[in-house]
Homo-oligomer: A and B are copies of this chain.
Amino acid sequence: MDSKLDLTFTRIVDAPKEAIWRCWTEPKLLLPWFCPLPWKTIACEIDLRPGGIFSSTMQSPEGVTMPTGTGCILEVVPNQRFTWTSALLPDYRPSLTLEKCGGQDGGFMFTATIALEDCKTENGTGTRYTATVLHADEAGCKQHASMGFEAGWGAALDQMVAMIKKGI
Given contacts A7-B150, A131-B9, A87 and B111 within 8 Å (CB-CB)? yes
Q: Chain B residues near A137 (CB, 8 Å)? A: 5
Q: How many residues of A contact B (CB 8 A)?
A: 100
Which residue of the partner chain B has the closest CB to A41?
Answer: B156
Q: Chain B residues near A33 (CB, 8 Å)? A: 156-157, 159-160, 162-163
Q: Chain B residues near A115 (CB, 8 Å)? A: 80-81
B35 near A156: Cβ-Cβ < 8 Å: yes
Bound: A2/B81 CA distance, A:
31
Bound: A6/B121 CA distance, A:
28
The 3 closest A-B CB pairs, nearest first, are A33-B159, A36-B155, A17-B116
Hey, which bits of chain A sit against chain B, CB under 8 A?
Answer: 1-2, 4-17, 19-24, 29, 32-37, 50-51, 74-75, 79-88, 92-96, 100-102, 109-119, 121-123, 125-138, 140-141, 144-145, 149-157, 159-165, 168
